[in-house]
Amino acid sequence: MTRISVSVDGATYTDDVEPRTLLVHYLREQLGKTGTVVGCDTSNCGACTVHLDGRSVKSCNVLAVQADGHDVTTIEGLAQGGELHPMQKAFHECHALQCGYCTPGMIMQSIDVLNDNPHPSEQEIREGLEGNLCRCTGYHNIVRAVQQAASSTGAQA
């Protein structure tokens, strides 16, 4: 067991974890951050995407011990003071989700896309989301949502 101290969605957690524990399993099972989900075992699907020190990562592809001393933001930490993040709002308003399973990862990555490039073209949005799979929406409305978020806010993570 290794002692780690991680800031997640604004709170600091100190825990003993096995080195083999993946960040996503630590978030879900030890912290109850079940908004972040697991969709594959090869790092293709991106459902587990969170922000680590402000950059998007696949939390299945990071060990919990590697997050020691770092700052993690999950889908559950986006809304501030009861106010949805503009990207969450855009996903709702553009009907960019159906079953919702890919949604947490998709939203986290979409925010990262705009952080990198506040005014992306449609193709840049599509390429920015190439590490996230969705089976319901055909991506059409996800792209619309990112476009809406970009035009309404610029990029604020």
Partner 1 sequence: MIPASFAYTAPTSLSEALSALAAGGDEAKIMAGGQSLLPILRMRLNAPSTVIDLSKIEELRGISEDGDHVVVGAMTTHSDVVTSELLQQHATLLVQAVKEVADPQIRHRGTLGGALAHADPAGDVGAPALALDCEFMIASQDGSRRTVGAADFFVDLFETAVGEDELLVQIRIPKHTGWGAHYEKFVRVKHQWSIVAVGATVRVEGETIAEAKIGLTNMGSTPLRATAVEQALIGKPATDEAVREACAAAADGTNPPSDLNGDSDYRKHLATVLTRRAVLAAAAG
Partner 2 sequence: MTVTDDRPTTEVGTARLRKEDQRLITGRTKWTDNIQLTGMLHMAMVRSPFAHAKITAIDTSAAAAAPNVMAVYTGADLGEGQGVLINAWPITPDQKAPTHLPMPSERVAFAGEIVACVVARSAAAARDAAELVDVDYEELPAALELKDALSDRVLAHPDLGTNKSAYWVFDSKEAGTGGDVEEAIAKARTDGVVIEREFRQNRLIPAFMEPRSVVVDPTGEQNVMWSATQVPHIVRFALAATTGVPESKIRVIAPDVGGGFGGKLQVTPEEWIVWSVARTLGKPVKYTETRSESLVAAHHGRDQWQKLTMAAEKDGTLTGFKVELTADLGAYVAVVGGGVPVLGAFMFNSIYKFSSYHFACQTVFTNKTWTDAYRGAGRPEATFGIERMMDELAAELDMEPLELRRKNWISSDEFPFTTVCGMEYDSGNYEAATDEATASFGYDELRAEQKRRRDAGDPVQLGIGISTFTEMCGLAPSRVLGSLNYGAGGWEAASVRMLATGKVEVVTGASAHGQGHETAFSQIVADQLGVPFEDVEILHGDTQISHKGMDTYGSRSLVVGGEALVKASEKVIAKAKPVAAHLLEASVDDIEFSAGRFGVRGTDQGLSIQEIALAVFAAHNLPDGMEPTLDADAVYDPVNFSFPHGTHLCAVEVDTETGAIKMRKYTCVDDIGTVINPLIVEGQVHGGLVQGIAQALWEDAVYDDAGTLVSGSFVDYTLPTAADTISYDVHHRSTPSLTNTLGTKGVGEAGTIASTPAVVNAVIDAIRHLGVDDIVMPCTPERVWKAIRSAGANQAAPTVGAAQPHFDESETENGAAL
Query: What is the rounded end-to-end Cα distance, in angstroms, of the chain?
Result: 33
Supply the minimum distance, in Å, between the C-beta of residue 142 and partner 1. Answer: 15
Among 23, 142, 149, 150, binds partner 2 (CB under 8 A): 142
Judged by CB under 8 A, the chain residues 87 through 116 that form the site for partner 2 are: 88, 91-93, 95, 97-104, 107
Q: Does 143 bind partner 2 (CB under 8 A)?
A: yes
33, 13 in Cβ contact below 8 A? no
Return the range that interacts with partner 1 (CB under 8 A); candidates 18-26, 81-89, 92-100, 144-152.
18-26
- Cα 22 to Cα 1, 11, 53, 67, 136, distances in angstroms: 13, 19, 17, 10, 27
Instruction: Classify residue 36 by burial, with Cβ atoms within 10 Å: 0-12, 13-18, 19+.
Output: buried
Q: What is the spatial distance between Cα 106 and Cα 127, in angstroms, rounded to a whole number?
A: 13
81 makes contact, choosing from partner 2, partner 1, none, with CB < 5 to 8 Å by partner type, with: none
Supply the minimum distance, in Å, between the C-beta of residue 22 and partner 1. Answer: 7
58 makes contact, choosing from partner 2, partner 1, none, with CB < 5 to 8 Å by partner type, with: partner 1
Q: Does 81 bind partner 1 (CB under 8 A)?
A: no
